[in-house]
Amino acid sequence: MPDNPQKILRLLLGDQLNSRHSWFATVRPDVVYVLMEIRQETDYALHHIQKVTAFFAAMRHFAQELKSAGHQVHYITLSDAENRHNFKENITELLKIYNATTLEYQLPDEYRLDAYFNTELRSIPAEIKVCDTEHFYTTRTELGDFFRGKKQFLMESFYRHIRTKHNLLMEGGKPLTGVWNYDKENRKKLPKNHVPPAPLIFENRVETIVNEIEQAGVKTMGNINPEQFVWPVNREQSLQLLDYFVRHCLEHFGTFQDAMTPGGWSLYHSRLSFSMNVKMLSPQEVIETAIQEWKKRPETISYNQLEGFVRQIAGWREYMRGIYWHHMPGYAELNYFGHENKLPAWYWNGKTKMHCLRDSITQSLDYAYAHHIQRLMITGNFALLAGVHPDETDAWYLGIYIDALDWVEITNTRGMSQFADGGIVGTKPYVSSAAYVDKMSHYCGSCYYDKSKKTGERACPFNSLYWNFYHRHEDKLGNNPRIGMMYSVWHKMKPEEKNALLNQAEKYLKNVDEL
**What is the reported pLDDT for 484?**
85
User: What stretches of 212-284 adopt beta strand conformation (E)?
Assistant: 220-221
**What is the reported pLDDT for 474?**
94
Rounded Cα distance, 309 and 181, in Å: 11
**What is the reported pLDDT for 74?**
97
According to DSSP, the β-strands at 31-36 and 72-76 are parallel
Cis status of the peptide bond prior to 329, with omega within 30 of 0: yes
- CB atoms closer than 10 angstroms to residue 181: 16
| 423 φ/ψ angles, rounded to the nearest 5 degrees | 115, 15
Task: Specify the CATH architecture of the domain 142-327.
Answer: Alpha Horseshoe (1.25)
**What is the reported pLDDT for 2?**
43
Q: At a CB cut-off of 8 Å and minimum separation 6, what does 248 contact?
A: 197
Q: Find, among 87, 1, 73, 3, the residue nearest to 38 by Cα.
A: 87
**What is the reported pLDDT for 184?**
77
Helix (H, G, I), strand (E, B) or coil at 120: coil
According to DSSP, the β-strands at 8-11 and 174-175 are unpaired
**What is the reported pLDDT for 1?**
36
Q: What angle do CA 34, 28, 89 make, to 5 degrees?
A: 20
Strand partners, 459: 450
Strand partners, 127: 102
According to DSSP, the β-strands at 174-175 and 170-171 are antiparallel
The answer to whether residues 394 and 412 touch, using CB atoms and an 8 Å cutoff, is no
DSSP 23-60: GGGS--TTEEEEEE--HHHHSSS-EEHHHHHHHHHHHH
Positions of the chain with pLDDT under 70: 1-4
Q: Under CATH, which number does the domain 345-514 receive?
A: 1.10.579.10
- CB atoms closer than 10 angstroms to residue 511: 10
CATH of 8-131, one of 3.40.50.620, 3.20.20.140, 2.60.40.290, 3.80.10.10: 3.40.50.620
**What is the reported pLDDT for 183?**
80
Rg (CA), the chain: 24
Q: Residue 457 carries which side chain, given as an amino acid letter?
A: E
Q: At a CB cut-off of 8 Å and minimum separation 6, what does 87 contact?
A: 11, 36, 38, 40, 116, 117, 120, 121
Domain ranges of the chain: 8-131, 142-327, 345-514
Residues written for the chain: 515
Rounded Cα distance, 463 and 58, in Å: 43
The answer to whether residues 298 and 227 touch, using CB atoms and an 8 Å cutoff, is no
Average pLDDT, the chain: 94
**What is the reported pLDDT for 3?**
57
